[in-house]
Amino acid sequence: MLKDITLGQYYPVESILHKLDPRTKLFGTMVFIISLFIANDIWAYVIATVFLAAAIKLSNVPLKFMVSGLKAIVFLLLISVSFNLFLTPGTAVVSFGFLKITKEGMIVAGFMGIRLIYLVVGSSIMTLTTTPNQLTDGLEKSLGFLNRFRVPVHEVSMMMSIALRFIPILVEETDKIMKAQMARGADFETGNLIQKAKNMIPLLVPLFISAFRRATDLAMAMEARCYRGGEGRTKMKPLKYGNQDRVTYLVYFLYLAIIIGLRILRVQSF
């Protein structure tokens, strides 16, 4: 059951975004996040909204999947919004005793909230339109220059890819081990912090042993299929920039230029 939850939730469908090189999408996410921190007036946010909305539309992924990522940050969102709402000094609009909501607070809270939401949705678009393998391939290719500094880029990328593959399996195994120990009377709920930590031993030891066993098996299987590191390897899905990527980079450039421009022009923020 838990196996069904794949990390990052790749949504398989045909779209322009799905066809883009993962490096383009990685870069785009970075650009978008940076822009959210540069933007500080309503027009910049409008442009950012247009950018995001266009990306959502172009991805062909149903909106509900984008929004599902927000469930994770609901708590954070509430705290951030509340803090800004109640603690920003300025002209009061409403007050309950010593608590007051200011006009300035509402504006700041509003933008904070939007920024957080856009951050999450923006990152989701990347993971929804890019498979874990494409992501690690993208990172591997773009960080390739580090090879010159003896950084084992390929090996790290392979490790990330394998980790992504095995996380659902290990999650399921954790559940199984927990249940098996509970069937022997183990208690993972009661007790103070130290108690709880001790109680985790019957869970962690078997889990570690299992993980090591899997690693050994996997290494043997990889060697049996002639794996010997990155040298001499070809790629089944090599990354190559296409025209759509070049156009997209141009769009990024323009977008970022507009956002920065707006910031410089509108010296007055709120």
Binding site for other proteins (CB under 8 A): 1, 3-4, 6, 12, 131-133, 161-162, 164-165, 168-169, 173, 176-177, 179-187, 201-202, 205-206, 209-210, 213-214, 217-218, 220-228, 232-238
Angle between helices 22-38 and 132-142 (to 10 degrees): 80
User: Which is closer to other proteins, CB of 155 or CB of 217?
Assistant: 217
| Nearest CA-CA partner of 239 in 10, 27, 11 | 27
Nearer to other proteins, 2 or 50 (CB): 2
CA-closest candidate to residue 49, choices 110, 2, 95: 110
Distances, alpha carbon 87 to alpha carbons 47, 90, 108, 113, 118, in Å: 28, 9, 10, 15, 23
- Least distance to other proteins, CB of residue 38, Å: 35
Helical spans, DSSP H, in 88-131? 103-129
CB of 116 to other proteins, least distance (A): 24
Burial 251-262 (b: 16+ CB within 10 A, else e): ebeebbebbeeb
**Whose Cβ is closer to other proteins: residue 20's or residue 158's?**
158
Categorise residue 25: left if φ over 0, alpha if ψ from -120 to 50, beta otherwise. Answer: alpha
Question: For residues 115 and 154, which CB has a smaller minimum distance to other proteins in the complex?
Answer: 154
How far apart are CB 123 and other proteins at their closest, in Å? 19
Residue 190 CB, shortest distance to other proteins, in Å, is 10
Token pair, residue 18, equals 């799905």
Q: Could you tell me which residues are beta bridge partners of residue 95?
A: 100
Helix (H) or strand (E) holding 100: strand 99-102
Q: Measured from the CB atom, is 60 or 80 closer to other proteins?
A: 60
CB of 132 to other proteins, least distance (A): 5
Least distance from other proteins to the Cβ atom of residue 162, Å: 6
Coil, helix or strand at residue 95: strand
Minimum CB separation of residue 83 from other proteins in Å reads 32
The contacts of residue 32 (CB under 8 Å, 6+ apart) are 48, 51, 52, 118, 122
Could you identify the residue written with the tokens 């990330």? 160
- Is the CB of 123 or the CB of 133 nearer to other proteins? 133
Residues forming beta bridges with residue 94, ordered by sequence position: 101
Rank residues 3 and 150 by Cβ distance to other proteins and give the closer one. 3
